[in-house]
Amino acid sequence: MRRGNTVGLVGRILDWFCGVLASLTLLGGTFESPFCYHKCVGVCPLCRPVLDRYRSEQENTMSREVLLQLLGVWKTYRMGEVEVPAMKPTDLEVYRGEILVILGPSGSGKSTLLNIMGGIDQPSGGQLLYEGKNLTGVSDNALTAYRRHHVGFIFQFFDLISNLTVSENVALGAEIAGRRPAFGAILDGLGLGGKEESFPAQLSGGEQQRVAIARALAKEPDLLLCDEPTGSLDYRTGIRVLHLLHMVSREMGKTVVIITHNTPIGAMADRVITMRDGFIDCMVANEKPVDPSLISW
Ligand SMILES: Nc1ncnc2c1ncn2[C@@H]1O[C@H](COP(=O)(O)OP(=O)(O)O)[C@@H](O)[C@H]1O
Ligand SMILES: [Mg+2]
């Protein structure tokens, strides 16, 4: 018997078996597992584990704390007479402590989305809520306070101040937010011990990116927004940076949003968003996010 025939026969037997169970069950066939192709209402031993997992995923989603919420947020840039639609009306919830990866081709609106999340850019419409508080239409001072106290940014080209040393760059990040964290511990934790008095130009690309991470963390933000953080780094250094971002989420409980061109980086995320033409084309939840050491590109 050909393999296709065998599979078909097994499917029919399963259908029959589950049909019998369905007719016996007190549920009366009112509930169907969305994953169960033989529609057994989730009572058979074959479908039970699938259904249980589906339910626990639903519960996990329900119990997650929403840190940031976008409600119908859209953005159009104006360049003289020309309007550039960068982001179409978008709904999104970002959960506390998660790693969210944003993929998508160049020009698809990734940075626009990230900049709106971080209060760098104002949306043209819709609402942005942080811990349930509406940030749309608030004063510039209120938006600056949000950026200063709650958001850390990491960019592709590090954006360090070239005439300040490593510790001065990091201190500046903290002072802006009125914090006094233990710089030594942060720098040591990021493998920068001994580099405190170096200037950015004396460091490698990977070290500069680690200083940028230290500067962002010195503010003790809840939300770390990273725009192509590995974009200008070689593979090995990029993986090290990903390890740090992973640690920031898993051990420090920060929410980490990472824009990247590298699709494999999505494997370390709790959720992956793919953007296209200014909207979220698809969103996937990773059941088992992997350790960055298992990522390659
Ligand atoms: N400041 C701006 N002024 C005008 N157009 C912009 C500006 N920023 C982004 N855009 C346009 O908005 C669209 C989305 O850009 P962006 O969010 O930077 O995409 P991505 O980060 O995915 O490459 C692009 O067409 C881009 O040219
Ligand atoms: Mg971009």
Summarize pLDDT for 60-82 with one digit per residue, the tens.
555 589 999 999 999 999 999 99
Q: Which residue has the higher pLDDT, 31 or 2?
A: 2
Strands lying side by side in the sheet with 133-134: 82-95, 66-79, 125-130, 133-134
Based on the fold, state whether residues 51 and 158 are members of the same structural domain: no
Q: Are strands 125-130 and 99-103 parallel, antiparallel or unpaired?
A: unpaired
Q: Where residue 170 sits, what CATH number does that domain have? A: 3.40.50.300
H/E run at residue 3 = helix 3-24
Q: Which residue has the higher pLDDT, 182 or 273?
A: 273
CA 34 to centroid of chain Cα atoms: 26
Based on the fold, state whether residues 218 and 273 are members of the same structural domain: yes
Task: State the residue range of the domain holding 51.
Answer: 3-62
* Prediction pTM value: 0.79
CB count, 10 Å around CB of 24? Answer: 9
Position 25 pLDDT exceeds 50: no
Position 151 pLDDT exceeds 70: yes
pLDDT of residue 32: 45
pLDDT bin (cut points 50, 70, 90) of residue 188 is: confident
- Is residue 82 in some structural domain? no
- What is the C-alpha end-to-end distance of the chain, expressed in Å? 42
Query: What distance in angstroms lies between residue 94's CA and the mean position of ligand 1's atoms?
Result: 22
- Is residue 178 in some structural domain? yes
Based on the fold, state whether residues 159 and 276 are members of the same structural domain: yes
Based on the fold, state whether residues 177 and 259 are members of the same structural domain: yes
Give dist(CA 188, CA 193) in Å, integer: 5
pLDDT of residue 297: 87
- Is residue 128 in some structural domain? no
Specify the range with the lowest mean pLDDT, choosing from 92-106, 188-202, 265-279. Answer: 188-202
* Range 139-155 average pLDDT: 94
Query: What distance in angstroms lies between residue 115's CA and the mean position of ligand 2's atoms?
Result: 10
Q: Are strands 82-95 and 66-79 parallel, antiparallel or unpaired?
A: antiparallel
For residue 271, what are the β-bridge partners? Answer: 100, 285
Which atom of ligand 1 is closest in space to residue 121's alpha carbon?
Answer: 1
* Range 99-128 average pLDDT: 96
Position 271 pLDDT exceeds 50: yes
Based on the fold, state whether residues 113 and 194 are members of the same structural domain: yes
Based on the fold, state whether residues 275 and 187 are members of the same structural domain: yes
- Is residue 286 in some structural domain? yes
Based on the fold, state whether residues 39 and 152 are members of the same structural domain: no
Task: Check if 82 has its Cβ closer than 6 Å to any atom of ligand 1.
Answer: no
* Range 130-158 average pLDDT: 94
Position 97 pLDDT exceeds 60: yes
Position 143 pLDDT exceeds 70: yes
Based on the fold, state whether residues 49 and 143 are members of the same structural domain: no
Based on the fold, state whether residues 144 and 288 are members of the same structural domain: yes
User: Computed from CA positions of residues 81, 87, 91, 94, in that sequence, does the dihedral angle turn out positive or negative?
Assistant: negative
Position 266 pLDDT exceeds 90: yes
Query: What distance in angstroms lies between residue 77's CA and the mean position of ligand 1's atoms?
Result: 8
pLDDT digits over 218-250, tens only? Answer: 888 999 999 999 998 889 889 989 999 999 999
Contacts of 252 (CB under 8 A, 6+ apart): 217
Position 26 pLDDT exceeds 50: no
How high does pLDDT run on average in the chain?
A: 85
Task: Check if 260 has its Cβ closer than 6 Å to any atom of ligand 1.
Answer: no
Our count of domains for the chain comes to 2
